[in-house]
Amino acid sequence: MAELFHSSQPIYQQLAERIKKQILRGELTLGEKLPSVRDTGIEVNVNPNTVQRTYRELEAMHIVESRRGQGTFVTDDRVVLDSIREEMKLAVMNEFFQQMYEMGYSNEEIKQGLMEFVNRKGEENR
């Protein structure tokens, strides 16, 4: 299945974000072997060099590790993944609050809006 990428960010970074989210959601488990660079390239319709760069980026963040002759594996270090999850949460929240402030919302209005949103979502999921 071909994946769509947007032009505002390099493809390798977008792919790294997708893989991080798959790991954090549990779609890829601790210690699990990632598909080969070639297989991932075919799956998302990108050059294998781009996938290799993605895997190197994830390895630099200690999210995955390469094992010579075996492939690339999700880290089995829960502390690293918890830290990445917290960083991603804070980044999303920072962006959200920045946009709300730019639209002129106060902290109280944001808080009230979030409470209403969460309550509505809770009712939808019942």
Give residue-wise pLDDT tens across range 85-116.
Answer: 999 999 999 999 999 999 999 999 999 999 99
Average pLDDT, the chain: 92
- At 7, the pLDDT band (50, 70, 90 cuts) reads confident
103 token code pair? 């639209």
Task: Give the pLDDT confidence score for residue 94 in this predicted structure.
Answer: 97
Q: Which runs of consecutive H residues, i.e. helices, occur in 1-126? A: 11-25, 37-44, 48-60, 78-102, 107-124
Give residue-wise pLDDT tens across range 21-76.
Answer: 999 999 999 999 999 999 999 999 999 999 999 999 999 999 999 999 999 999 99
- At 121, the pLDDT band (50, 70, 90 cuts) reads confident
Q: Does domain 11-76 have CATH number 1.10.10.10?
A: yes
CB atoms inside a 10 Å sphere around CB 31? 11
Percent of the chain topping pLDDT 70: 97
| Domain residue spans of the chain | 11-76, 79-124
